[in-house]
Amino acid sequence: MIGVLIGIPVFVLLTAGVVIVVLLRKPSRRYSGPGSVSGVYDTWTTDQKMKFYWGNHLHAGFYGQPPERKDFIRAKLDMIDEMVRWGIAQPDPRLIERLENPVANASRIKILDVGSGMGGTALHLAQRWPKSAHITGITISSAQTTHATRLAHASGLCNVTFVECDAMDPAFAAQSFDIIWTLESEVHMPDKERFMREIVRVLKPGGWLLMGTWNVRDTRSVPLNTSEMEHVQYLLDEWCHTKFDEIHESVQLLERHGLQKVVSEDWTAATLPSWRDAILVALRDGRGLVWTADIWWRNTRDAYTILRFDSAFRKGLCQYGLFRGQKP
Ligand SMILES: C[S@@+](CC[C@H](N)C(=O)[O-])C[C@H]1O[C@@H](n2cnc3c(N)ncnc32)[C@H](O)[C@@H]1O
């Protein structure tokens, strides 16, 4: 009798565990056109953890080389500043001088943030350069556009605007921007040639493209094995991604579209702590548990996906690629 009383709950728990694992391992947000991407981001925009714990930044943090412990939002702001250092200040001292020390009546440097998320990056750049830059953020998600526009109004900044727009067909005249900034957005683009052609089209001659993205490891000498292929496919299909290029392929993409002085770097080690921090930051704080409880299944799925990303970067299956290039 006691055996039956213990056996039934154990059986129920084990069955529930197996069902949950099976459901988690089946990707649920596969890319199926622009509406699938905007749908995912519209939904995420209501998520408290992304606003409060991630500070409206849907991108990795920079923890240094070698990485050091730091506050999650601080790491995200450091990521943007590090990209400015590597992607603008290092290759173009005159451009950073115009941004940091503007002379009176000089025209503003125009920056396009492609895939601007909830607006955190564009707002940080606008705060950093209130007199010298104007930042336009574009996203395919209407909820993100509304959210980021509200943040911009609340901040009182008048040098940042957000527009709902598909990067496959950006509604800007040729040669409109001095800097194109795109961080963790390229992985959603259905046609990378067209994406690159369009963003290079709207870049002014002499302007810089700065891209941070997720790459898959170099497979030229050792192709992906079955388990790696399954892992990558999961990462693509769970968060509406289309394809992860290899770092050398991304370099070739920029070069094919006429960019010069193309340089890449692997920032995997410096960004790796972001994955675990993305979960821990909400769990360490009691409010996080309350907030996450209402949408527990979606959060469980996201936490599982984050851990699989963490594992892919940790074991070298994925790499965090940074790229810069100048339009001649
Ligand atoms: C992971 S988020 C990156 C967030 C952002 N770069 C940041 O700094 O927080 C990916 C972004 O790419 C945008 N996106 C994806 N496909 C797009 C497209 N075809 N056109 C414009 N934006 C797109 C999404 O709407 C989302 O804002």
Residue 164, strand partner residues: 139
Mean pLDDT of the region 192-210: 98
Domain boundaries, the chain: 27-326
- Give tens-digit pLDDT for 295-308: 777 788 888 999 99
With cut-offs at 50, 70 and 90, classify the pLDDT of residue 165: very high
Choose which residue among 41, 44, 139, 162 to substitute to test ligand 1 binding: the one with the highest number of ligand atoms within 8 A of its C-beta.
139
With cut-offs at 50, 70 and 90, classify the pLDDT of residue 21: confident
With cut-offs at 50, 70 and 90, classify the pLDDT of residue 293: low
182 Cβ inside 6 Å of ligand 1: no
Mean pLDDT of the region 91-120: 95
Among the listed residues 248, 258, 261, 252, the one whose alpha carbon sits nearest the alpha carbon of residue 91: 261
73 has a pLDDT exceeding 80: yes
Mean pLDDT of the region 219-246: 96
Opening angle at CA 322, ends 318 and 324, nearest 5:
150
Mean pLDDT of the region 218-228: 97
Place of tokens 């890319």: 31
Among the listed residues 244, 152, 271, the one whose alpha carbon sits nearest the alpha carbon of residue 189: 244
Query: What is the percent of the chain where pLDDT is above 90?
Result: 76
With cut-offs at 50, 70 and 90, classify the pLDDT of residue 325: very high
Q: Higher pLDDT residue, 44 or 21?
A: 44
Residue 290 has a pLDDT of 61
CB 197 within 8 A of CB 226: no
Distance 11 CA to ligand 1 centre (A): 43
Residue 163 has a pLDDT of 97
Residue 5 has a pLDDT of 74
Question: Residue 312 corresponds to which tokens in the numbers above?
Answer: 């892919």
55 has a pLDDT exceeding 90: no
Compute the mean pLDDT over every residue in the chain, rounded to the nearest whole number: 92
H or E segment to which residue 160 belongs: strand 160-164
Among the listed residues 205, 202, 157, 154, the one whose alpha carbon sits nearest the alpha carbon of residue 181: 202
Mean pLDDT of the region 309-315: 97
Protein residue whose Cα sits closest to atom 13 of ligand 1: 115
Task: Identify the weakest region by mean pLDDT among 38-52, 59-73, 92-106.
Answer: 38-52
C-alpha count within 13 angstroms, C-beta hemisphere, residue 313: 23
Q: Higher pLDDT residue, 292 or 166?
A: 166
289 has a pLDDT exceeding 70: no
Residue 169 has a pLDDT of 94
With cut-offs at 50, 70 and 90, classify the pLDDT of residue 53: confident
Choose which residue among 29, 37, 73, 84 to substitute to test ligand 1 binding: the one with the highest number of ligand atoms within 8 A of its C-beta.
37
Among the listed residues 214, 274, 268, the one whose alpha carbon sits nearest the alpha carbon of residue 55: 274
Q: Is the pTM of this model over 0.85?
A: yes
With cut-offs at 50, 70 and 90, classify the pLDDT of residue 69: very high
45 Cβ inside 6 Å of ligand 1: no
Cα(213)–Cα(245) distance, integer angstroms: 9
Cα(154)–Cα(304) distance, integer angstroms: 34
Packing angle of the helix pair 72-84, 120-128 (nearest 10 deg): 60
Which residues fall within 8 angstroms of residue 272, CB to CB, at 6 or more apart? 63, 67, 310, 313, 314, 320
Alpha-helix residue ranges (DSSP H) falling in 26-119? 34-44, 48, 72-84, 93-100
119: left (phi over 0), alpha (psi -120 to 50) or beta: left
Q: Write the DSSP symbol of residue 187.
A: G
Fold of 27-326: Rossmann fold (3.40.50)
